[in-house]
Amino acid sequence: MPAGSELTPPRLPRTFRPLGVRIAVVVFGGMLVAVCLVAWFALPPHIRAEISWLERATVIFFGIALATVAAGLARCRIDAREDGVTIVNGYRKRAFDWNQLVAISLRPGGPWAVVDLSDGTAVSAMAIQSSDGSRAIAQVRAVRALISQQSRTAEDD
């Protein structure tokens, strides 16, 4: 960022979540359920009677599997608190102290933000999706400002 363009960090606690993914899960998931129900009730009763319990269980199993994946995508978030940060990607949750976070970036063409850690590794932050456009850029800037503010040491290095 250019000099003088420092962003004021948001107040803590703060949660960052993807918008587009959550909308897609609700809208397309709802549409899929509606289409399946309409198709099921549009079948004549004698055709529905010929569908075995195993076939029904298979469709239900795949529906539950799809709902599980969709819920995992929708629950991605970054929880920033005074004592640290929790990054939730799907069903995996990782907690970090502020001093473990070095930087966050949203690389051009990348699907989501990446958080660089002090041990030289990086963690994907699926809570900030590049498909959210300017909203994602604003979230990265806010997290960047929080990292700058919260990870200061006594020597402020």
- pLDDT tens digits along 76-133: 999 999 999 999 999 999 999 999 999 999 998 899 999 999 999 999 999 999 999 9
Edge to edge, the sheet with strand 122-129 lists: 101-105, 112-117, 122-129
In a domain, 59, yes or no: yes
Q: Does 91 lie in the same domain as 67?
A: no
Q: What mean pLDDT comes out for the span 133-157?
A: 82
- Phi, psi (degrees; rounded to nearest 5) at 31: -65, -40
Q: What is the pLDDT of residues 56-66, one digit of tens each?
A: 999 999 999 99
pLDDT at site 46: 93
* Own/partner pairs, 32-41, CB within 8 angstroms, 24+ separation: 32/66, 36/63
pLDDT at site 12: 87
Q: Give the residue numbers spanning the domain of 114.
A: 76-150
- Report residue 75's pLDDT band, with 50, 70 and 90 as the boundaries: very high
In a domain, 103, yes or no: yes
Q: What is the pLDDT of residues 5-53, one digit of tens each?
A: 557 778 889 999 999 999 999 999 999 999 999 999 999 999 999 999 9
Half-sphere exposure for 14 (CA within 13 Å, toward CB): 13
Q: Does 116 lie in the same domain as 100?
A: yes
In a domain, 112, yes or no: yes
CA atoms of 100 and 138, how far apart (whole Å): 22
In a domain, 2, yes or no: no
pLDDT at site 4: 43
pLDDT at site 8: 78
| Nearest Cα residue to 95 out of 105, 103, 104, 85 | 85
Rounded alpha-carbon distances, angstroms, from residue 111 to 45, 87, 136: 46, 16, 11
Q: What is the pLDDT of residues 82-92, one digit of tens each?
A: 999 999 999 99
In a domain, 3, yes or no: no
Residues present in the chain in total: 157
pLDDT at site 140: 94
